[in-house]
């Protein structure tokens, strides 16, 4: 009927198709089904004509995020809480020179007012912020300087996030050319 009237199907139809595909794909991957896609794929469904296109998404080596991550690097998981004891390989390399921790995205650590000196801690992902944080509520002016963290030594990382939630999706521990990917879990 939608095809005959050239109407766009409802959100329910589209979301049902997307949900079914996602669940089926995950179950196939978990059960190691031979037809399960082993790489990133994009599925486009035209819900008017009922045609679909599946394409493989290639790694973009020019991308600042995924292009700099070694796809064969080992992956470990850690809880998002910074004081947890499973802060993994970092606990072993706090004093190791040359290692650094790269956050998946810049994190606002604090703002400091240039006029009154007020310091306010945030620990918030840059993607969730607006320019409102440059406004100092004490001075009534836009005089706050922002301090972001993206690359830290292991000791700086542990000192900064001890006891706080780590507002990143993942971390990359780098030691020269060797990388370890740490997936953050809730």
In a shared domain, residues 74 and 148? yes
Q: Which of left, alpha, beta for 59 (phi over 0: left; psi -120 to 50: alpha)? A: beta
Domain that holds residue 31: 2-56
Q: What is the pLDDT of residue 116?
A: 93
The structural domain count of the chain equals 2
In a shared domain, residues 109 and 146? yes
In a shared domain, residues 45 and 73? no
In a shared domain, residues 39 and 99? no
| Rounded Cα–Cα distance for residues 9 and 42 (Å) | 21
Q: What is the pLDDT of residue 55?
A: 83
In a shared domain, residues 52 and 71? no
In a shared domain, residues 100 and 38? no
Q: What is the pLDDT of residue 132?
A: 87
The length of the chain in residues reads 186
The answer to whether residue 61 sits within a structural domain is no
In a shared domain, residues 124 and 44? no
9 vs 45, 46, 51, 54, 154, CA distance in Å? 12, 10, 13, 20, 51
Burial class of residue 11 (count of CB atoms within 10 Å of its CB; 0-12, 13-18, 19+): exposed
Q: What is the pLDDT of residue 118?
A: 93
All residue ranges of the chain with pLDDT < 50 are none
In a shared domain, residues 51 and 139? no
């Amino acid at each position: 009927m939608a095809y005959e009237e050239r109407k766009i199907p409802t959100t329910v139809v589209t979301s049902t198709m997307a949900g079914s595909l996602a669940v089926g794909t995950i179950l196939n991957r978990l059960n190691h089904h031979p037809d399960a896609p082993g790489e990133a794929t994009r599925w486009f469904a035209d819900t008017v004509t009922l045609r679909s296109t599946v394409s493989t998404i290639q790694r973009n080596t020019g991308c600042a995020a995924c292009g700099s991550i070694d796809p064969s690097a080992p992956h470990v998981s850690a809880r998002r809480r910074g004081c947890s004891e499973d802060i993994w390989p970092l606990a072993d390399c706090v004093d190791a020179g040359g290692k650094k921790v790269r956050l998946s995205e810049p994190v606002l650590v604090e703002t400091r007012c240039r006029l009154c000196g007020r310091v306010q801690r945030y620990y918030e992902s840059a993607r969730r912020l607006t320019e409102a944080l440059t406004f100092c509520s004490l001075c009534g002016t836009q005089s706050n300087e922002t301090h972001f963290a993206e690359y830290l030594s292991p000791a700086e990382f542990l000192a900064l996030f001890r006891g706080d939630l780590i507002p990143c999706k993942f971390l990359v521990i780098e030691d020269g050319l060797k990388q370890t990917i740490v997936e953050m879990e809730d």
